[in-house]
């Protein structure tokens, strides 16, 4: 029997118990739902690094709760006595995944809240817990807003193509690109979702397809190498993806394979939509050349499901992300509004409006 609530509202990548951070181990889905409990910042950093939790927004939220755990472990007595140990914990969190800017953004915000708490004489751990809860709640609200804005841009009922997982499992809840799909499906606008398998971790096959099946949204899995040929057939109107970092000029770092999809979409007349919260925009990075691209172990490519598929002696190049130039992006959807053909001026104007609205 299907649940009344959509999976986007039921599934959570992480839960804060008040004492610890519980993380749904996404390496085991869809076959097993196992929760990992982190009671220290180092455990949160390890979970981020080892892909227990993934997706830029979810990583940022997890890091915020990791800062709470660091404060609980160290924040007693004069700040000068414990702040170095606290900062060492935060640096460990920052190093866990270097490309996703949400992680750094969340920790900058937590540091600012800590500074304010110390000036005001507040309890540091309590202040940081309230801030982490706020970051979590704001992400869910932003996803809902982006879902509505993105769905409104589809231009009618259509088929769409997604890459990686950008759903409830990658965020605080609902999703970014998959949040647009959810909102569009609720409005009767989704004919079918084609989900790239997304090698080598198969997030599209294991996670996106699972979320969509749970919700009754029609989904067909596509081998990564078949996506360009699918777009040539002409049945897909939009490619909809998330982002791990967006530079000041609109260049987009996202899961490896995104750049190729953008090229194919432009060649075959499909729209290319990027859906990401404001926390993913990085105005301090001028363009995509300044984005550090994480490279992970070769074994992730040389083996599958724990079984080696390549011959002994073969090496591998395993970048986790690529960068899509801004000129290939048709629409950028954020919770603060939609930007067509994003560039430095349009993104700057968006951030200025969002800053003014936020006071």
Domains in the chain with CATH codes: 7-142 (1.20.120.420), 146-357 (3.40.50.10470)
Residue 132 · residue 64 · CB < 8 Å: yes
Average pLDDT estimate for 126-138: 97
pLDDT reported for residue 304: 86
b/e map 236-268, b = 16+ CB within 10 Å: bbbbbbbbbbbbbbbbbbbbbbbbbbbbbbbeb
Residue 274 pLDDT > 90 = yes
Segment 296-338, tens digit of pLDDT: 999 999 998 889 999 999 999 999 999 999 999 999 999 999 9
**pLDDT of 9:** 67
Q: What is the mean pLDDT of residues 58-84?
A: 95
Instruction: Give 59's pLDDT tier (boundaries 50, 70, 90).
Output: very high
Average pLDDT over residues 127-132: 98
pLDDT at 74 over 50: yes
From 139, 196, 224, 244, active-site residue = 244
Order of strands, edge to edge, in the sheet holding 321-324? 281-282, 245-247, 252-255, 321-324
3-state secondary structure of 192: strand
Contact assessment for residue 354 and residue 336, using Cβ atoms and an 8 Å cutoff: yes
Place of tokens 């067909």: 220
Active site residue 244: yes
Model's pTM, two decimal places? Answer: 0.90
CA angle 10, 56, 66 (to 5 degrees): 80
User: Model confidence at 359, in pLDDT bands (50, 70, 90)?
Assistant: very low
pLDDT of residue 71: 97
352 half-sphere exposure, CB direction, 13 A CA radius: 6
């Amino acid at each position: 029997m299907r649940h009344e609530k959509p999976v986007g509202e039921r599934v959570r990548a992480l839960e804060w118990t008040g004492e610890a951070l519980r993380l749904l181990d996404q390496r085991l889905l869809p076959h097993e739902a196992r929760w990992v409990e982190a009671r220290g910042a180092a455990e949160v950093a390890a979970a981020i690094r080892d892909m227990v939790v993934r997706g830029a927004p979810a990583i940022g939220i997890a890091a915020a709760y990791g800062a709470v755990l660091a404060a609980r472990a160290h924040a007693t007595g004069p700040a000068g006595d414990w702040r170095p140990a606290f900062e060492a914990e935060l640096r460990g969190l920052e190093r866990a995944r270097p490309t996703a800017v949400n992680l750094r953004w969340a920790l900058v915000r937590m540091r600012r809240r800590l500074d304010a708490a110390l000036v005001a004489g507040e309890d540091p751990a309590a202040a940081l817990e309230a801030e982490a809860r706020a970051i979590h709640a704001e992400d869910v609200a932003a996803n809902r807003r982006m879902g509505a804005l993105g769905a409104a841009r589809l231009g009618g009922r259509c088929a769409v193509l997604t890459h990686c997982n950008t759903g409830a499992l990658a965020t605080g809840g609902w999703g970014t690109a998959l949040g647009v799909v959810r909102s569009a499906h609720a409005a009767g606008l989704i004919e079918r979702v084609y989900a790239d398998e997304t090698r080598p971790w198969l997030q599209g096959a294991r996670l996106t397809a699972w979320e969509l099946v749970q919700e009754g949204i029609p989904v067909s899995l596509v081998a990564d190498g078949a996506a360009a040929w699918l777009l040539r057939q002409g049945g897909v109107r939009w490619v909809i993806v998330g982002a791990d970092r967006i530079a000041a000029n609109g260049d987009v770092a996202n899961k490896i394979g995104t750049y190729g999809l953008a090229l194919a979409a432009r060649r075959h007349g499909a729209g290319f939509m990027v859906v990401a919260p404001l926390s993913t925009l990085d105005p301090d990075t001028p363009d995509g050349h300044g984005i550090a691209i994480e490279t992970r172990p070769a074994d992730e490519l040389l083996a599958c499901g724990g079984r080696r598929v390549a011959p002994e002696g073969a090496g591998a190049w395993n970048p986790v992300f690529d960068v899509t130039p801004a000129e290939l992006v048709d629409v950028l959807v954020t919770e603060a509004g939609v930007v067509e053909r994003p560039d430095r001026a349009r993104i700057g104007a968006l951030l200025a409006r969002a800053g003014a609205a936020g006071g």
